Structure 1
Amino acid sequence: MRFVLASSSPSRLQILRSAGVEPVIDPAGVDEDAIIATLDRRGAAPGDVVQALARAKAEEVAQRWPADVVLGGDSMLLIEGTLQGKPKTVEATIERWQHQQGKVGELLSGHHLVTPSGTQTFLSTTKVWFAQANDADIRAYATTGEPLQCAGAFTLEAIGGWFIDRIEGDPSSVIGLSLPGLRKALYSLGFEVSEFWNRSLV
């Protein structure tokens, strides 16, 4: 049985590889903006939004891998009541950081697991304390390109780590996906984590 990651995220891949899993990479092609717009009209809670995105990605990819385990994920930053996804441009990243520096946000990470024995959706919430960064460093960080495709316009494990004062919660979730949550979901569906480790580890 293969472990399929319905994402092209380098951070999610890094976490799984570091944890002994070499997944099949099969990114989903769902219209995230359309899903978010529909849920906004319905007044969905922030956690429900990221879980719905994760579910849509996993379910699309799972159609191609019916005999395997498929994980979909999505992360967004909740700050002052507003959900924020990827900034995508340098200028948008600078604006985000000018607003969020010195504040506390919550990184919401939705996960959806599709397996032959059932499905499981779960949410990981981690508090993030953003540093007071000066304008020169904010611009320099944005122009590295690193935060452009990251939820909340930051990374914890790379250059962005300079500007995160602390977190409260699951570090792996902030980087890309929650290993503790994934372990619990696999157990609940009758799997062992070690089933998916590289053969050289077992």
Structure 2
Amino acid sequence: MQLITDKKIILASESPRRKELFSSLGIPFEVQPSGVIEELDGIYTPEEMAIGIADLKASTIAHRNPNAIVIAADTTVRLGSELLSKPKNNEQAKKFLRLLSGKVHNVITGVSILGQDVSIAFAESTLVKFYELTDEEIDAYVETGDSLDKAGGYGIQTMGGLFVENVQGDYNNVVGLPISRLYRTLLNLGVIEFAKEKSK
């Protein structure tokens, strides 16, 4: 299966994980980090928060690139009524992991797609259950430095995945980009299409 596009596509992200996932589509794209502060004033649901920040990232890059299709994403973790975004320091990362220990939490990624005649956003949710964690393993993991740039203080695709008992939903959504849903959305929008096979 080969996908093609005649659009200029920009991924508004500095995340190497999102870049790697988007690369799986096999289409050309650029990376332009938005540099926006990942915060919104006001009261929002987790889905609204993730979409709102993704919209902010996408609109910042779309303003500079009016002829491009811009894709942005933002991931947050919800435990009960509490939102756990990227920890500000190691102590907060340890606090997050202690809260997640032995519990089921929801990982929500908002995706925004902006461009000429294109404006669509959605949120994907995945349930993740952690094993009971010891203080020793929490401390050892946080000391690796892996926690600080990841929502909830862990990366499922790195050693943080050792804490995960099970996942219900899209694994890639937990990594940071629900690439399957994004692929289908881009296909439905006509941004990407299948390459036609040459007749023999």
Deviation at 1:115, TM superposition (A): 2.4
Q: Does 1:29 align with 2:56?
A: no
Q: Amino acid of the residue matched to residue 16 of structure 2? A: P
Structure 2 unmatched runs, 5+: 1-6, 196-200
Q: Does 1:15 align with 2:18?
A: no
Distance across 1 between alignment mates of 2:108 and 2:193: 23
Larger Rg: 2
What is the SS of the residue equivalent to 1:128? strand
C-alpha offsets along residues 113-151 of structure 1, whole Å, 9 cap, x if unaligned?
012231110110000101112111100100111121101
Q: Amino acid of the residue matched to residue 42 of structure 2? A: L
Specify the alignment match of 1:54 in structure 2. Answer: 54
Deviation at 1:25, TM superposition (A): 1.3
Deviation at 1:193, TM superposition (A): 5.0
Distance across 1 between alignment mates of 2:168 and 2:192: 27
C-alpha offsets along residues 37-94 of structure 1, whole Å, 9 cap, x if unaligned?
x232xxx222111111101110111112221211111010000111110013111111
Q: Does 1:2 align with 2:5?
A: no
Deviation at 1:191, TM superposition (A): 2.3
Alpha-carbon RMSD across the aligned residues, in angstroms, is: 1.6
Specify the alignment match of 1:199 in structure 2. Answer: none
TM-score (normalised: structure 1): 0.87
What is the SS of the residue equivalent to 1:93? helix
Specify the alignment match of 1:191 in structure 2. Answer: 191
What is the SS of the residue equivalent to 1:63? helix
Distance across 2 between alignment mates of 1:149 and 1:96: 13
Q: Amino acid of the residue matched to residue 111 of structure 1? A: V
Q: Amino acid of the residue matched to residue 173 of structure 1? A: N
Specify the alignment match of 1:139 in structure 2. Answer: 139
Specify the alignment match of 2:4 in structure 1. Answer: none
Following TM superposition, where does structure 1 have runs of at least 4 consecutive aligned residues deviating by more than 2 angstroms? 17-23, 29-33, 191-195
Deviation at 1:2, TM superposition (A): 2.3
Deviation at 1:22, TM superposition (A): 4.9
TM-score (normalised: structure 2): 0.88
Distance across 2 between alignment mates of 1:144 and 1:50: 27
Specify the alignment match of 2:198 in structure 1. Answer: none
Distance across 2 between alignment mates of 1:161 and 1:194: 34
What is the SS of the residue equivalent to 2:87? coil
Q: Does 1:182 align with 2:182?
A: yes
Question: Is the CA contact 2:76–2:108 (under 8 Å) kept in the aligned structure 1?
Answer: yes
What is the SS of the residue equivalent to 1:147? coil
- The percentage of aligned residue pairs carrying the same residue is 29
Specify the alignment match of 1:98 in structure 2. Answer: 98
Specify the alignment match of 2:169 in structure 1. Answer: 169
